[in-house]
């Protein structure tokens, strides 16, 4: 199965859920779809007349609004037009959900109160593909998306039922999904793409090519799984792409043509050859090492000010009668001492970046406290650490162990992680604010999880009092 006579594609990216404001927007889904569409035409030999781009929020003449009706209309045409030796690729970036044990993809006109009528039922999509004569069908899902800068709305992570529907395979089918059961697929404000889709694009564009310049489906899967795994480890964000395939032989998804040789004009400047050589060298370096510059002390101060400003923007509008939030002053992390300094030092050692570290490292401590017994006291430590050519926004969120006379102990007692920024990216105020929002989203989830543990503990302590009589309010 090295080639296909004709290649069809339906590429869907839903960024704006215009019909229902309960559904969180996904800023990067449109970017994923546009780039995948361009890559398949440029590198994969797909004919523009047989490749449909369903996306909203972009200024593109070829774009079709990603409604349920438009999606099924294009899929019907593709499935009926494709013959035995043809290839069909279906790509979807957006929200996926399992509702009442039925798996759905949410389109721009989906409304949650009538989801059965307005969302795409994955089993209906599969049945349409099964009726096609095409022997080669590839489905790629970057669904169960978690918007990097926003709070997820009513959806949880990938469920077992949704995963089974996404990974369904038939004869001549391959299904590649962005995450495994219990996980969510992440977007990155810094990359401006979904993490999974970003590496799919990189692979198609050549990072997954073999020595013949061919990007096979198997090599693409290996590249994406490895790359997403590395990102997941660095960001402390679990995401494990999943694949099932019944393809026979090797399916070549893209083929890279040899680079066109450009004649170098004669020049009187002896350094022109150096300039051209540097450009060639930079173009061949791995993506994550490009635009990598050295950090400096003045820049570090500017980065810390951006973090302080972003923290203020997130906390300023928050108000709740039962919760008090105190933000401390900037201070040296090693002066705080205790667990933050010890755990940070261990993270530096484990990640083998001690030789790159550039002290001093400053931190902020945010304390959450409440008059309600069942709302735990916690401390969030944020620090900006400078290394030779990158920064960390590192955090440690601790649940106070001396609550209820020290008898309550949270499990786990703390959560930690870090975000890595290139020097230029760390000075992008929008990217930094999006990252701080994501960090506080995690902190909020931590507090609610510990609150559930504390409420259960308090309930046990109150049991004998309830047996004595009603507690007076």
Going by DSSP bridges, is the β-strand pair 145-146/185-188 parallel, antiparallel, or unpaired? parallel
- Indicate if the pLDDT at residue 1 is higher than 60: no
Report the SS3 class of residue 82: coil
Residue 390 bridge partners (DSSP):
422
Going by DSSP bridges, is the β-strand pair 362-369/378-386 parallel, antiparallel, or unpaired? antiparallel
pLDDT, position 379: 96
Q: Give the integer Cα–Cα distance in Å for 217 and 207.
A: 13
Helix spans in 236-296 (H): 272-284
- Indicate if the pLDDT at residue 360 is higher than 80: yes
The pLDDT tens digits of the residues spanning 23-62 come to: 888 989 999 999 999 999 999 889 899 999 999 988 877 8
Q: Which helix (H) or strand (E) holds 393?
A: strand 390-399
- Indicate if the pLDDT at residue 401 is higher than 60: yes
DSSP codes of every residue in 321-372 = TTBEEEE---EEHHHH-HHHHHHHHHHHHHTT-GGGB-S--EEEEEEEE-SS
Q: Which helix (H) or strand (E) holds 244?
A: strand 242-245
pLDDT, position 239: 85
Q: Give the integer Cα–Cα distance in Å for 27 and 110.
A: 17
Maximal C-alpha separation, the chain = 98
Going by DSSP bridges, is the β-strand pair 87-93/136-142 parallel, antiparallel, or unpaired? parallel
Task: Name the one residue in this structure whose structure tokens are 């790159």.
Answer: 356
User: Domain 7-255, what fold?
Assistant: Rossmann fold (3.40.50)
Residue 165 pLDDT grade (very low, low, confident, very high; cuts 50, 70, 90): very low
82-91, 231-240, 339-348, 427-436: lowest mean pLDDT where?
Answer: 231-240
Report the SS3 class of residue 297: helix
Which of 237, 304, 302 is CA-nearest to residue 441? Answer: 237
Q: What mean pLDDT do residues 88-110 have? A: 90
Residue 461 pLDDT grade (very low, low, confident, very high; cuts 50, 70, 90): confident
Of 386 and 408, more confident: 386
Q: What is the side-by-side order of every strand in the sheet holding 96-99?
A: 96-99, 102-105, 120-121
Asked if 384 and 300 touch (Cβ cutoff 8 Å), the reply is: yes
The pLDDT tens digits of the residues spanning 69-79 come to: 999 999 999 99
Of 94 and 188, more confident: 94
Q: Give the integer Cα–Cα distance in Å for 39 and 34.
A: 9
Q: Give the integer Cα–Cα distance in Å for 82 and 7.
A: 8
Q: Give the integer Cα–Cα distance in Å for 91 and 33.
A: 8
Q: What is the CATH code of the structural domain delimited by 297-460?
A: 3.90.1150
With a CB cutoff of 8 Å and minimum separation 6, the contacts of 120 are: 68, 71, 72, 104, 105, 106, 107
Residue 371 pLDDT grade (very low, low, confident, very high; cuts 50, 70, 90): confident
pLDDT, position 426: 92
pLDDT, position 326: 94
Domain spans, the chain: 7-255, 297-460
Region for residue 87 given its phi and psi (left: phi exceeds 0; alpha: psi -120 to 50; beta: otherwise): beta
- The answer to whether the 7-255 and 297-460 domains have the same CATH topology is no
Q: State phi, psi for 441 to the nearest 5 degrees.
A: -60, -45
Q: State phi, psi for 157 to the nearest 5 degrees.
A: -85, -170
Average pLDDT for the chain: 85
Residue 301 pLDDT grade (very low, low, confident, very high; cuts 50, 70, 90): very high
Work out the burial of residue 229: count CB atoms within 10 Å of its CB; fewer than 13 is exposed, 13-18 middle, 19 or more buried: middle
- Indicate if the pLDDT at residue 291 is higher than 50: yes
The pLDDT tens digits of the residues spanning 113-137 come to: 999 999 999 999 999 999 999 989 9
| Token reading at 455 | 């409420």
């Amino acid at each position: 199965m090295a080639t296909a006579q004709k290649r069809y594609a339906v590429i869907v990216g839903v960024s704006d859920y215009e019909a229902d404001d309960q559904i969180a927007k996904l800023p990067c889904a449109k970017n994923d779809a546009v780039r995948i569409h361009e890559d398949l035409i440029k590198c994969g030999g797909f004919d523009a007349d047989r490749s449909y781009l369903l996306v909203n929020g972009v200024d593109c003449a070829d774009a079709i609004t990603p409604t349920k009706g438009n999606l099924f209309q294009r899929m019907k045409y593709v499935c009926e037009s494709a013959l035995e030796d043809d290839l069909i690729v279906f790509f979807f970036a957006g929200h996926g959900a399992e509702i009442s044990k039925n798996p759905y993809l949410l389109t721009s006109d989906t409304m949650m109160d009538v989801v059965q009528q307005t969302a795409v039922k994955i089993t209906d999509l599969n049945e349409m593909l099964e009726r096609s004569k095409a022997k080669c069908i590839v489905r790629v899902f970057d669904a169960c998306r978690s918007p990097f800068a926003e709070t997820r709305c009513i959806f949880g992570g990938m469920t077992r039922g949704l995963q089974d529907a996404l990974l369904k395979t038939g004869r001549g089918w391959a299904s590649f999904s962005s995450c495994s059961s219990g996980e969510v697929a992440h977007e990155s404000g810094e990359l401006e793409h979904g993490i999974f889709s970003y590496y799919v694009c990189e692979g198609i564009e050549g990072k997954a090519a073999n020595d013949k310049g061919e990007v096979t489906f198997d090599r693409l899967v290996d590249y994406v799984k490895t790359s997403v795994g590395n990102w997941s480890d660095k960001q402390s964000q679990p995401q494990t792409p999943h694949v099932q395939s019944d393809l026979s032989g090797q399916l070549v998804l893209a083929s890279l043509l040899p680079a066109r040789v450009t004649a170098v004009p004669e020049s009187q400047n002896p350094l022109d050859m150096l300039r051209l050589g540097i450009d060639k060298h930079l173009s061949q370096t791995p993506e994550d090492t490009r635009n990598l510059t050295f950090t400096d002390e003045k820049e570090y101060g500017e980065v810390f000010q951006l973090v302080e400003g972003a923290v203020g923007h997130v906390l300023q509008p928050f108000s709740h009668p039962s919760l008090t939030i105190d933000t401390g002053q900037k201070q040296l992390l090693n002066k705080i001492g205790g667990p933050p300094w010890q755990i940070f030092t261990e993270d530096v050692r484990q990640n083998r970046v001690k030789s790159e570290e550039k002290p001093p490292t400053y931190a902020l401590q945010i304390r959450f406290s409440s008059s309600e017994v069942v709302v735990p006291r916690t401390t969030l430590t944020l620090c900006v650490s400078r290394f030779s050519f990158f920064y960390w926004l590192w955090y440690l969120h601790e649940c106070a162990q001396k609550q209820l006379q020290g008898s309550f102990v949270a499990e786990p007692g703390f959560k930690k992680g870090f975000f890595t920024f290139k020097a230029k990216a760390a000075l992008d105020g929008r990217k930094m604010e999006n990252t701080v929002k994501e960090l506080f989203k995690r902190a909020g989830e931590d507090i609610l999880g510990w609150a559930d543990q504390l409420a259960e503990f308090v309930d046990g302590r109150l049991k004998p009092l309830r047996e004595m009589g009603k507690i007076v309010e």
